[in-house]
Structure 1
Amino acid sequence: MPTYNKLIRNKIPQIIKANGKTPTTRILPEDEYIKEICKKTQEELTEYIEATTKPDKLEELSDLLELINALAEHEGTTLEEIDAIRKKKAEERGGFQNRVFLVEVTDN
């Protein structure tokens, strides 16, 4: 019997039951939940980096967005508010589309 010890999406236990198996789960306290969200975010980012097809990359990006949404909820905010902050920052400091890579800064 495999042991996972990881955060899963809300409907996964029902899916496991529908496949004739019995999941053992527990509800995490808030501090552990946030720790696991952060671990899951790292896992999904690694999966995005390792994905080789566009559909797989988009799937991983959607997982990352779901996790960012969960973190936003934890902070008492929304993706819309975060996007407004992103846009303001992009206006003030730019985005990353130009692919500028800073090598070093020297004193004049």
Structure 2
Amino acid sequence: MPVYNKLVRDRIPEIIKSTGSQCSFKILNYEEYIHSLKQKGFEELNEYINSETNEEAIEELADLLEIIHALAEYHGSSFEKVEDIRKSKLGKRGGFKEKFYLIEVE
């Protein structure tokens, strides 16, 4: 039986059981949860980096957004608040559309 030892989406145990397979899982405490969310973020970012098609890339970006939603909630905030901060920074410092690559500053 494969061993995963990783955070999975809420319905994964139910989906596994619906196929007739068995699985074991535990409910994480808050320290384990935040650690696992951070690990999951790296996992999904790596999958995005290694995506080969636009479809795969968008799928992985959606997974990253789900992690951002969960992390915002964990930190007592919301995705909307994160989005507000993103927009504020966009107004003050811009985004990344111009593709500037800073080499050095004297």
Letter in 2 for 1:22: Q
1:42 aligns with 2:42: yes
Number of paired residues? 106
- Within 2, Cα distance between the matches of 1:90 and 1:15? 40
What corresponds to 1:26 in structure 2?
26
| Equivalent residues in 2 for 1:24-103, closer than 5 Å | 24-103=24-103
In structure 1, list runs of 5 or more residues that go unmatched. none
1:8 aligns with 2:8: yes
TM-score (norm 1): 0.95
- Within 1, Cα distance between the matches of 2:103 and 2:54? 30
- Within 1, Cα distance between the matches of 2:84 and 2:17? 41
Superposed CA deviations along residues 49-108 of structure 1, whole A, max 9, x for unmatched, are 1111111111100000000000000011111111111111111111111111110111xx
- Within 2, Cα distance between the matches of 1:30 and 1:76? 13
Identity of aligned residues (%): 48
Alignment RMSD (CA, Å): 0.6
- Within 1, Cα distance between the matches of 2:5 and 2:39? 12
Letter in 1 for 2:67: L
Letter in 1 for 2:19: N
TM-score (norm 2): 0.97
- Within 2, Cα distance between the matches of 1:84 and 1:4? 36
Structure 1 segments, 4+ long, off by >2 Å, are none
Letter in 1 for 2:11: K
